[in-house]
Amino acid sequence: MENDKRSKRIDIPLRSLSQDAKLDMGQNYCIVSCSKHRLPDLVNVVDSMVNEGWMIASGLTSDDGLIFQSISKFSRTLDNSSGITKRV
């Protein structure tokens, strides 16, 4: 993986989530990855992040023994003049 300033690879701390799941995280988009042998860890991490306001962005995919799940999170504000909710 190239070192890109726009994204960073984060090992999730043990904080009751998982030591085996990894995050490739941007500001509003994240890919959670985990070994196919540790699916409960992936499920727990994604479930925890959904509880924190993240939304599943697409289905699962797999490559080279890893499972990947993409999730996204957008801040929303209400434009009072038009009544339209938009991304910030």
pLDDT per residue over 30-48, tens digit each?
A: 999 999 999 999 999 999 9
CA angle 22, 61, 51 (to 5 degrees): 55
Residue 30 belongs to some domain of the structure: yes
What pLDDT shows up at residue 56?
95
pLDDT of residue 12: 43
**How confident is the model at residue 59, as a pLDDT?**
84
Question: Would residue 21 count as lying in a domain?
Answer: yes
Q: Which pair of structure tokens corresponds to residue 83?
A: 């009544």
Is the pLDDT at 80 greater than 90? The verdict is no
User: Which has more pLDDT, 60 or 13?
Assistant: 60
Is residue 49 in a domain? yes
| 38 in a structural domain | yes
CA end-to-end span of the chain, whole Å?
29
Residue 41 lies in a domain: yes
Work out how many domains the chain is built from and give that number.
1
Paired tokens of 86:
């938009």
The residue range of the domain holding 15 is 8-87
